[in-house]
Chains A and B, each alone.
Chain A
Amino acid sequence: MAKVLVIEDDDATAAEMGSCLSTAGHEVRREADGAEGLTAALGGGFDAIALDRMLPGLNGLEVVARMHAAGVYTPVLMVSALSDVDERIAGLRAGGDDYLTKPFDPGELAARLEVMLRRRCWAVQTSPTLKVGDLELDLVRRSARRGERQIELLPMEFKLLEFMMRQAGQTLSRRLIFETVWEYYFDPGTNLIEVYVSRLRKAIDGPGERALIHTVRGQGYKLDAA
């Protein structure tokens, strides 16, 4: 449950974003242009902002820049019709925390916002270990353990597991995983993420153990103890 500010000039898109974020249990406020959006953002009290890259008045990049100038660092998800990788990188460089290309799947929007919100918590987290059920990840010694069983992981597998554990319970799309864990912004082809996740699954979910990594068909993957 978080308070989300949606700054989007297109009514249809805004309505769609609003309905999907409400469904996910967030409180949503919408502003239709850059200047008003900025005022609302500076007013504070929001946990996250979904910001259109192209807005009448102030554009998205400027909104972020002014927010930062005023010392407001609310996480920003940049939403844009510009899919070019360069645009994406410009958006992230300007201070966006994540970048989503229109048209997007509402589920993807909710998931990315969730990831963004949780990522903010990583910074303040003090515990050197992550725990999901009986799975433990030691971030300092870079080791993983399930119950009494030590798990050998390659560096990339460790990074993937860390991300999935931090986002435990959240469905993560293949694209989101690839962009966040590998930080590449292209379509990696057929089944790259599938292969990595199934390797990880083989390592984590031993025979007779309860499965922690779940495939959500048509959506992605989820690491969950429940």
Chain B
Amino acid sequence: MPLRDRITDVWRTTTARLTVFYGLIFAVGILALLGVVYWQSALYLHQRVEGILKARAELFMQASAAELPGRIRQGLVFEGGQQVNVYALFSRDGAPLAGNLRALPKGLTPDGGPLDTPPTADFPFQARLIARRLPWGEILVVGRDISVLSEMRNIMLQALFWSAVIIILTGLVFGAALSLSPLRRVRALQGACREIAAGDFSRRMPVSLRHDELDMFAATVNHMVDEVERLMSEVRGATETIAHDLRTPLTRARARLHRLEQAIGDPDPRAEEARWVIDELDTVLGRFRAILRISELEGRRRREGFVETDPQALVLQAAELYGPVAEAEGVALRVDKGAPSTIDADPRLLFEALSNLVDNAIKFTPSGGRVRIGVEEGPRIVVQDDGPGVPQGEQASVLQRFYRGERDRLTPGSGLGLSIAAAIVRLHGFALSLEDAHPGLRAVIDCAPEAHEI
């Protein structure tokens, strides 16, 4: 799977989404917290500054007109090198008389509200000023450095920025990290599901000891598969019993009918009628034989007949056996020579599977068509025809028994050849797949499916 898809997958998990969601809520909380802290502190500082300014103004106003400039200078002396306060005295027409402002700031009205000014050459800080008109007409300006307020706002904004960065980063990292483990479990569940869907009903979904929602889900699916397996084996058992039990009376009926046909003798049309019934019975018996053969193969778990086998030899053998059949059908049967290889297999069974595939391919290839068999890299045994093929949606189902696709309906035979081949291939632990050969069908027996899994 490409990395981009994996990353997408990680972000699609519930855990990742939840982590991001919680991160967002947390960020909003932090924002609110810092906002409230800032707002409250600012309010407090403003009140403090205003209180101080008013108190200072009162203090200065207690002095007489003659004392006042001295007091202002004195006050400024106490500042030392630090400039924190603004004290200034202006004449009635705005000319500076004393203090550390050389001009009356614009917009500042005596006895009006406070005014905030940006840093100037006189007072290099942001300041809040109030002005008072003295009883003798002069204007007193008292101010205080309020850069601490904007300083505080900066600190808050920075805190906000950095905490946001940290929250987002840790949120992403933890979200990804936390969702990796459930994602791995989901992958395992998917794998199990795929195997079950492919027909391995002994497979179960992995259940951990956590008893979390994934386990609950897996247990439910397992329960369902149990039930499917039980039903499948019931159906299988029923069909086997039917096939097995009906075979004896049908064989006897066929024998009686044959005797009857012999007794009637040839010119009589009833003999022809009897032969027709015998043919039909043979079809039924052939199908039953195939069904029982499949269950016989499915019941086998032994590998005792297994020896080192050269698939190429089997291919040549099959080509030799079916050569005349292909010729009679007007189909060109060709063997593609491949590199020699060895596989661990039961050669008799594998030959039976291959024969079924070749027979099937010849059967469905119109006269003038071609069938190619060979061993490809892998090793993979390939039987390819250029007949009508199998529709995309039916490719998996034609390998199941009792499935009769569109193409089976018009053709004689048990129609179970592919199912027998599939059962033999499964018994070997190989994989049989049907592919579209554009046109035609390409049946592939992969003799080392584990090695080719992506």
A interface residue numbers (CB < 8 A to B): 16, 20, 83-86, 102-107, 156, 182, 184-192, 195-196, 198-199, 217-219
CB-based contact A218/B278 at 8 Å: yes
The yes or no answer to B252 lying at the interface (CB within 8 A) is yes
A219 CA to B279 CA, complexed, in Å: 10
Chain B neighbourhood of A156, CB < 8 A = 320
A48 CA to B417 CA, complexed, in Å: 36
With known contacts A105-B258, A191-B325, A199-B324, A186–B352 Cβ distance under 8 A: yes
A86 CA to B346 CA, complexed, in Å: 11
The yes or no answer to B144 lying at the interface (CB within 8 A) is no
CB-based contact B321/A189 at 8 Å: no
A190 CA to B355 CA, complexed, in Å: 11
The yes or no answer to B336 lying at the interface (CB within 8 A) is no
A188 CA to B348 CA, complexed, in Å: 13
The yes or no answer to B414 lying at the interface (CB within 8 A) is yes
A192 CA to B321 CA, complexed, in Å: 8
A161 CA to B363 CA, complexed, in Å: 26
A218 CA to B283 CA, complexed, in Å: 11
Shortest Cβ distance from residue B292 to the other chain A in the assembled complex, whole angstroms: 6
CB-based contact A189/B363 at 8 Å: yes
Chain A neighbourhood of B252, CB < 8 A = 16, 103
CB-based contact A184/B351 at 8 Å: yes
Residue in A16, A106, A189 whose CB lies within 8 Å of B359: A189
Q: Is the interface of A mostly helix, strand, loop or mixed?
A: loop
Residue from B258, B286, B304, B351 having most chain A Cβ neighbours under 10 A: B258
A33 CA to B187 CA, complexed, in Å: 60
Shortest Cβ distance from residue B318 to the other chain A in the assembled complex, whole angstroms: 11
CB-based contact A190/B275 at 8 Å: no
A105 CA to B250 CA, complexed, in Å: 10
CB-based contact B279/A196 at 8 Å: no
CB-based contact B255/A105 at 8 Å: yes
Considering only residues 240-260 of chain B, those with a C-beta below 8 Å from chain A are 247-248, 250-252, 254-255, 258
The yes or no answer to B328 lying at the interface (CB within 8 A) is yes
The yes or no answer to B290 lying at the interface (CB within 8 A) is yes
Q: Mark contacts of B343-362 with chain A using CB atoms, 8 A cut-off: 1 yes-contact digit, 0 otherwise.
A: 00000110110011001100
A sample of 28 cross-chain residue pairs with beta-carbon separation below 8 angstroms, ordered by A number, consists of: A83-B293, A83-B296, A85-B348, A86-B305, A103-B247, A105-B254, A106-B255, A184-B351, A184-B352, A186-B352, A186-B355, A188-B321, A189-B355, A189-B363, A189-B413, A190-B359, A190-B412, A190-B413, A191-B328, A192-B359, A195-B324, A196-B324, A198-B328, A199-B324, A218-B258, A218-B261, A218-B275, A218-B282
Chain B neighbourhood of A107, CB < 8 A = 255, 258
The yes or no answer to B38 lying at the interface (CB within 8 A) is no
A83 CA to B292 CA, complexed, in Å: 9
Shortest Cβ distance from residue B267 to the other chain A in the assembled complex, whole angstroms: 14
Chain B neighbourhood of A196, CB < 8 A = 324
A191 CA to B349 CA, complexed, in Å: 20
A86 CA to B302 CA, complexed, in Å: 11
A199 CA to B324 CA, complexed, in Å: 8
With known contacts A105-B251, A218-B258, A187–B322 Cβ distance under 8 A: no
The yes or no answer to B289 lying at the interface (CB within 8 A) is yes
Chain A neighbourhood of B412, CB < 8 A = 190
Chain B neighbourhood of A189, CB < 8 A = 355-356, 359-360, 363, 413, 417
Chain B neighbourhood of A84, CB < 8 A = 296
CB-based contact B359/A104 at 8 Å: no
A84 CA to B352 CA, complexed, in Å: 13
Chain A neighbourhood of B417, CB < 8 A = 189
CB-based contact A187/B248 at 8 Å: no
The 4 closest A-B pairs by CB, nearest first: A189-B359, A103-B251, A103-B248, A218-B278
Shortest Cβ distance from residue B353 to the other chain A in the assembled complex, whole angstroms: 9
A182 CA to B325 CA, complexed, in Å: 15
Excluding A187-B293, A189-B417, 14 further A-B contacts by CB distance (< 8 Å) are: A16-B252, A85-B348, A103-B251, A103-B252, A104-B251, A105-B254, A182-B321, A184-B352, A190-B325, A190-B363, A192-B321, A196-B324, A199-B328, A218-B278
